[in-house]
Structure 1
Amino acid sequence: MVSTDEILNASILIVDDQDANVQLLEQMLRETGYQCITSTTDPHAVCALHRKNRYDLILLDLQMPGMDGFQVMEGLKENAADDYIPVLVITAQPDHKLRALQAGAKDFISKPFDLVEARTRIHNMLEVRLLYKKLENYSKVLEQTVQERTAELRESEARYRSLTELASDWYWEQDENMNFTKVSGPVLEMLGIRVGALDGEADSDQDAGWNAEERAFLQATIAARQPFLDFIYSRVNADGTQQQFRVSGEPMFTQSCRFIGYRGIGVEITTENIEHNNATASDVHTR
């Protein structure tokens, strides 16, 4: 919507080589309540004035010596900052009306002036012009907003990747059939899957040493589509050393709540951390 105040404060340029016509139009506009009115009797100055001020409406006489209104419109089109040329032509020649519209004018006023008709056409054209400008500004704001949101999303994704790389030794994703689609780090070995196969088949050699109770709990949690956070997963290697891993994961769903897979991260707990945790637990039991 365009308010009455916005229309009355729109910028208007009157172009006519006859001072009497300029004064008549200025008087009519000021009596109607328009505030920002400029005029010139020099058609050669119109393009420069419009480049500087970007008028919302140009009232343009067609019959002028040296440079007529059609030539002025051609100059305005060559210097236009947008596709909309806000020209309302003034003519006493009926056969000029169609030609003016074809040349780019948006409307016309006939001479001699019918003041009621002139006011109505000026008001209507300004309303359309201001709506066009609002739409243009909205499109620019929307484009800028999209660019800003896209930049924010890319920055967020970069931070997420950075934090994931810093906080975990591996990252994994599975589809709804529990086939691995993304894998980084030793997760396949961790879950007892043959590296390179990605087909969900367990490898008995890799099963050795894993805590069976922990593995069963983790697999049951995944099968139930439940998230898990900082789950401790451990195994004893062939040389008797112990490894512990902290894993977290969550199921993935579409907006319609259809299960589409699983994703998770994990990190190997260092020997120092294991010894510290065991010492802490021992100290607690002693107390």
Structure 2
Amino acid sequence: MSTTIPDTLAARILIVDDQEANVSLLEQTLEQAGYTNVSSTMNSMEVCALHRKNSYDLILLDLQMPGMDGFQVIEGLKTNDKDAYLPVLVITAQPGHKLRALHAGVRDFISKPFDLVEVRMRIRNMLEVRLLYKRLENYSQVLEAAVQERTAELRESEARYRSLTELASDWYWEQDERGNFTKVSGPVLEMLGIRVEGFAPDAQAAPVEGWNQAERAALQAAIEARQPFLDFVFTRTEADGSLQKFQVSGEPMFGPACQFLGYRGIGVAVRARS
């Protein structure tokens, strides 16, 4: 990420000085250097409003001015919440004011009387930093918007996935890393015959009897190995001797750091027979 010469020369610059001769000298110096978007004011009271309206890339600010001095202008500019970077290059003939200005948040200073070579160099350097800062800020905003958009897409995709799985199956379920159910849709408890805390009034009921223990042991082994399973068959013998058969599919879920989060899956009743 870098700035180009055309970008720098097109930067918006405001000159603030109550001395017309200083304003003219700085305007002429900037024009000769190729800057094309330079404006000025001799009224320090206008600076904050002008910056809010025009969002200057650089403000050349004289500190010694009547009515509202440069330090007061700086404090006023700080109230602009849209700009966390204070683009001020102060102009002063007082050496003691330089440190105070830097503490106030300005980025650099120009000494009077002007050394025009130094003026051009300091303006160019500060504009390069300023424009890079703005590009980084814009990039961060674009990146944040992209993350928000992608997050919304993922949530929508997850909602569609759940909707489709619920339509294509009798049950949808999710478990955490400890095997506790966190989401259920349909008669998952009846299908699996295990107790689940806090999901339904009958969640504390004793496990349903009649399951094929060998099948359940095989499924438990797959889960402990963090393996997916597809159309795994469960059978359960009812009290009247009828046999119920179910198919369940599940996949492990992992976080960004590859940590195991649990399982999610679907189930369907295959048939019931005597």
Matched to 2:76, the amino acid is: G
- CA deviation profile, 1:127-148 (whole Å, cap 9, x unmatched): 1211221222222223222322
- Does residue 1:96 correspond to 2:100, yes or no? no
How much does 1:76 deviate?
A: 2.1
User: Secondary structure at the residue paired with 1:206?
Assistant: coil
**Stretch moving more, 164-173 or 107-116:** 164-173
Rounded Cα–Cα distance in structure 1 between residues aligned with 2:102 and 2:22 = 22
Matched to 1:53, the amino acid is: N
Give yes or no for contact 1:90–1:110 (8 Å, CA) kept in 2. Answer: yes
Rounded Cα–Cα distance in structure 1 between residues aligned with 2:78 and 2:195 = 67
User: Secondary structure at the residue paired with 1:84?
Assistant: coil
Identity among equivalent pairs (%): 66
How much does 1:166 deviate?
A: 2.4
How much does 1:121 deviate?
A: 0.9
Paired position in structure 1 for 2:122: 121
Matched to 1:102, the amino acid is: H
Give yes or no for contact 1:170–1:183 (8 Å, CA) kept in 2. Answer: no
More helix by share: 1
- CA deviation profile, 1:144-172 (whole Å, cap 9, x unmatched): 22322222232223223323332222234
Paired position in structure 2 for 1:206: 210
Give yes or no for contact 2:63–2:90 (8 Å, CA) kept in 1. Answer: yes
Rounded Cα–Cα distance in structure 1 between residues aligned with 2:73 and 2:261 = 63
- CA deviation profile, 1:217-249 (whole Å, cap 9, x unmatched): x86477456645446666776667675544333
Rounded Cα–Cα distance in structure 2 between residues aligned with 1:259 and 1:113 = 66
Paired position in structure 2 for 1:55: 56
Paired position in structure 2 for 1:108: 109
Trace 1:168-187 onto structure 2 (pairs within 5 A): 168-172=169-173, 179=179, 181-182=181-182, 184=184, 185-187=186-188
Trace 1:1-287 onto structure 2 (pairs within 5 A): 1-79=2-80, 81-172=82-173, 179=179, 181-182=181-182, 184=184, 185-187=186-188, 189-190=190-191, 193=193, 205-207=209-211, 216=215, 220=218, 223=221, 227-230=228-231, 243-251=244-252, 262-269=263-270
Rounded Cα–Cα distance in structure 2 between residues aligned with 1:241 and 1:74 = 84
Rounded Cα–Cα distance in structure 2 between residues aligned with 1:160 and 1:228 = 18
User: Secondary structure at the residue paired with 2:147?
Assistant: helix
Give yes or no for contact 1:189–1:195 (8 Å, CA) kept in 2. Answer: no
Matched to 1:46, the amino acid is: V
Rounded Cα–Cα distance in structure 1 between residues aligned with 2:92 and 2:146 = 45
The count of aligned residue pairs is 261
User: Secondary structure at the residue paired with 2:23?
Assistant: helix
Rounded Cα–Cα distance in structure 1 between residues aligned with 2:254 and 2:79 = 55
Rounded Cα–Cα distance in structure 2 between residues aligned with 1:87 and 1:190 = 70
- CA deviation profile, 1:156-207 (whole Å, cap 9, x unmatched): 2322332333222223456788x5545744445545x455699xx997x514
Matched to 2:129, the amino acid is: V
How much does 1:58 deviate?
A: 0.7
Rounded Cα–Cα distance in structure 2 between residues aligned with 1:176 and 1:257 = 13
Unaligned runs of 5+ in 2: 198-202
**Stretch moving more, 181-190 or 12-21:** 181-190
User: Secondary structure at the residue paired with 1:130?
Assistant: helix
Give the root-mean-square deviation of aligned CA atoms. 3.6
Matched to 1:121, the amino acid is: R
How much does 1:36 deviate?
A: 1.0
Q: TM-score, normalised by structure 2?
A: 0.75
Rounded Cα–Cα distance in structure 1 between residues aligned with 2:161 and 2:113 = 71
